[in-house]
Structure 1
Amino acid sequence: MLLVLAATGALRGVLDLRTPLVVTILANLLNIALNLLLVHGFDLGIGGSAAGTAIAQWAAALCLVAVVLRRARAAGSSGRPDVAGVVAAARQGVPLLARTATLRAALLLGTAVAATFGDAPLAAHQIATSLVSFLAFALDAVAIAGQTLTGRTLGAGDAEGTRALTRRMIVWGLGTGVVAAVLLLVLAPFVGGWFTPDATVHDALVPALVVVALVQPISGVVFVLDGVLIGAGDGVYLAWAGLAVLVAYAPLALLAGSLGAGLAWLWAAYGVFQLARLVTLWLRQRGDAWLVLGA
C-alpha cells in the first residue's frame, strides 16, 4: 500500500493521473477475481480473501514502481535514494499528518456524539458519514488536479498563472459541490433503503442528509483550496488552521449531544466546521505568503 501511494504521488507530481487510474482499476478487478477463486473456488474463507487482496496490491505496487523507475531513468536519475529529498518529504509530511488528524478527529467526535442518540440515529449517522466520505473522494478529484497544477505553476515561477488557476479551480469546486448537493437532495428519501430496511434509521437519516447536501457547495470550495495550498507546500498553515477549526467545532458537536438535539443539528455543526475551514483557507489564498515561487 505504501509503495502504491508513493508511486501514485510521484506520477501525480508529473501530471500523470491516467496511469494510477488504470492500474488501480485492473488491481481491483484482479482482487475480485482472486477473492471469488480463493474463497469460493478453493474454500479458503477469510484467509483467501486476504491473500487475494495482498496479491492484487503487490501487482499494483510492482506495476506503478516499474513505471516510476522507467521514467526516472529516462530523466537521467540514478535511482539511488536521495537522503536530503527523503528528509524534505518527511518534513513536509508531518504538518499534513497533523492536518489530516484534525479532520479524522472531527469525524470521530461526531460518531461519539451520535452514539449518545441511540442505535437507529447512530446507524443513520454511519450511513451519512459513508456518503460524505464518498462525496469527499469525488470532490477531492478537483482538489488533486489543483494540487498538481499549483505545484507546476509555482515551480515555474508563475504567480499570476497560479492565481488564475486557483480562481478556475474554485469555480469547478463550487460547481461540483452544487451537483453533489442536488443529487443528494434528490436521493435523500431513497438512499437509506440501499443500506437497511429499518424505517427508524430512514427517519433519522433523511433530515441529516438534507443538511449534508446543503454543505456540499462549501465543501467543494474547501477541498479545492485545501488542494491548492497542499500543492504550494503550505502544510504548516493547514495544520494550525485545522487545529483551530477543530477547537471551534468540538463545543458545537458536544452541545448537540448534551441537548439531545438529534442528527440534523449534529451535521449542522459539521456544516459550521466546513464553513470555518472555508474562512481560514479563503483568507490564506487571498494573501501572498503561500505563493513561494521556484527558480
Structure 2
Amino acid sequence: MTTDRESERATHRETDREILRLAVPAFLALVAEPLFLLSDAAIVGHLGTPELAGLGVAAVVLQTVVGLCVFLAYGTTASVARHLGAGDLRAALAQGVDGVWLAVLIGTLATALGIVLTPTLVGAFGVGAEVADHAETYLAIAFLGTTPLLVMLAATGVLRGLQDTRTPLMVAVVGNGLNIVFNVVLVYGLDLGIAGSAIGSVLAQVISAAWLLVVVVRAARAHDAPLSPDRAGITAAAHAAVALVVRTLALRACLLVGTYAVTRVGTGATDVNVATHQVAITLWSFLAFALDAIAIAAQALTGRALGSGDVDGTRRLTRRMVRWGWGSGLVAGLALAAVAPFIGALFTTDPEVRELLVPVLLVAALGQPLAGMVFVLDGVLIGAGDGAYLAWAGLVVLAAYAPAALWAATLPHGLVAVWVAMVFVFMGARGVLLSWRARGDRWLVTGATSAR
C-alpha cells in the first residue's frame, strides 16, 4: 500500500511539474499581450485626448478581430499535440503549417476588408470628427498588422502543441520592447503622431511573427514536414475552427449582454455604475490570464495524452488539472477579496465608485474558484477537439445568462445583482455543462485525429 501511495505521489509531482512548465511561461506571455495596446496608449496619450480617444476606438475594433481568431491558437495547439502524442512529429508539424497558412488566408482577407471598411467601422461608434480622424488613421495602418498577428496566434499554437511555451514568451517580451522603442522613435523622434504609433506596432508584429515562423519552419524542415499549403489540411483546420468561433462569439456575447444590462437597463444605469463595472471587468480579465494559463497547459497535455491513446492517463490528468484550477481560483479569489477595499484608488478618485466597487469585487472573488475549474475544463475539451459540444454549450449559457443579467439590472443594487448573475448563472452554467461533459466518455477520442 505504501508503495502504491508513493507511486501515486510521484505521478502527481511529475504531472504538477509538467503543468507548471507549460502554465508559467503561458501566463507571462498572456500578460505581455495586452502591453502592445497599453504601451501605445501611454505614448499616444501624451499627444492629446482626441488622439487617445481615437486609439481607444481603433483598439476595440482590432481586439474584436483578433479575439474572434483565437481559434488559430487553440485549434492548432490541440491538433498538433494529438499528433505529437501519437508519435508522429512530422504530421504534427504538417498540421501546424496548415494552421499557419489558414492564418495567412484569414489575415489577408481581414486586412483587405478592414482597410476598406475603416471609415464605416469608426463611424459606428458615433464619435466626433477629430476623434474619428485619428481613429481612422491608426486603424487603416494597424490593419496591415492583422496577418502577422494571426500568424503569431497560429505559430504560438504550434509551439504550445509541441509543449513549448517558453519561445512564445520570449517573442512576446522582445516584441513588446521593440513596440515601445519603435513608438517613441516614430511618434516623437520623427514626429509622425498617431500614425507613427500604428507603424511601430505593425513593425513589432511583423518581427515577432517572423521569429515564430523561423522556429516553426526550422522544426518542419528538420522533420521533413511539408511547408507548402495543403488544401485538405487547411480545409480541415477551417472546418474545426467553426465550432470554436461559435463558442467564442457566444461567450463574448455574454460579456456584452452584461455590459449592456449595466449601461442601458434599469434605473441604476448611472456613470458611477458604468465606471465601477468597467474597473471590475478589467480586474476580472486580468485574473482570467492567470487561470487561462492552466487551461493552455490543459489543451497541450490533453491533446498529447489522447493522441497517445492513454484514456486513463487523460482522466487522471484532468482530475489533477481541475484541482489546480480550483486551487488557483481560490488563491485569486482570496487576493481579490483582500484588495477589494483599497484597489479602487488605483483607478479613480471618485468616492462613489470606490465604495460600490467593494461589494462587486467581493462577488467576483466568490466566483474565482469556479472560474478556475471552468477554464481548465474548457481547455481540456478544446485539447480533446470537442469543439462542437463547446459551441452548443456556449449558446445554452448565453440563453440562460442573457435574461438573468437583464432582469438583475432592474433590481435594487442592480450592478451587484448583475455580477451575482455573472458568477452564478454565467460561470455556474458553464461549470455544470463542462463538468457533465467531462464525466462522460464521448470526448475521449484517442489517436491522431479527434472527432469533429
TM-score using structure 2 length: 0.64
1:22 alignment counterpart:
170
Tell me the equivalent position of 1:75. 223
Q: What is the letter of the counterpart of residue 292 of structure 1?
A: V
Note the residue ranges of structure 1 that are not aligned, 5 or more in a row: none
Partner of 2:128: none
Q: Which runs of 5+ in 2 are unaligned?
A: 1-148
Tell me the equivalent position of 1:250: 402
1:192 positional shift: 1.3
Whole-Å separation in 1 of the counterparts to 2:346 and 2:191: 29
Greater Cα offset, 41-50 or 258-267: 258-267
Q: Is the 8 A contact 2:409 2:415 kept in 1?
A: no
Q: Contact between 2:336 and 2:365, CA under 8 Å: does it hold in 1?
A: yes
Corresponding residue for residue 225 of structure 1 = 377
For residue 138 of structure 1, the aligned residue among 267, 275, 290 is: 290
Residue 293 of structure 2 aligns with an amino acid whose one-letter code is A
Is the counterpart of residue 44 in structure 1 residue 192 in structure 2?
Answer: yes
Corresponding residue number in structure 2 for 1:112: 260
Residue 125 of structure 1 and its aligned partner are, at CA, apart by 0.3
Q: State how far apart, in whole Å, the 2-side matches of 1:174 and 1:55 are.
A: 40
Q: Percent identity?
A: 57
Letter in 1 for 2:433: T
Moved more, 155-164 or 40-49: 40-49
CA–CA distance in structure 1, aligned partners of residues 386 and 259 of structure 2: 30
Residue 361 of structure 2 corresponds to 209
1:51-200 equivalences in 2 (<5 Å):
51-116=199-264, 117-200=269-352
Using structure 1 for the length normalisation, give the TM-score. 0.98
Cα distance, 1:223 vs. partner? 0.1
Superposed displacement of residue 244, structure 1: 0.7
Instruction: Work out the CA distance in 1 between the residues paired with 2:317 and 2:435.
Output: 15
Q: Is contact 2:363–2:419 with CA below 8 Å preserved after alignment?
A: yes
Q: CA deviation at 1:260?
A: 4.7
- Report the Cα distance in structure 1 between the residues aligned to 2:344 and 2:286, rounded to whole angstroms: 15
Aligned to 2:35: none
| Aligned-partner Cα distance in 1 for 2:300–2:218 | 21
1:264 aligns with: 416
Deviations for 1:82-139, whole angstroms, at most 9, x for unmatched residues?
2111111111110111011111011101111111321111011011111111111110
Count the aligned residue pairs.
Answer: 295
The code of the aligned residue for 2:411 comes to L
1-structure distance, mates of 2:227, 2:412: 58
In the aligned structure 2, how far is the partner of 1:75 from the partner of 1:264? Answer: 55
CA distance in 1, matches of 2:349, 2:198: 30
CA offsets per residue over residues 18-72 of structure 1, 9 Å max, x none?
Answer: 1011001100011111112222222221111111111100000000011101101
- The answer on whether the counterparts of 2:409 and 2:417 sit within 8 Å (CA) in structure 1 is no
SS in structure 2 opposite 1:189?
coil
Structure 1 stretches of 4+ moved >3 Å? none
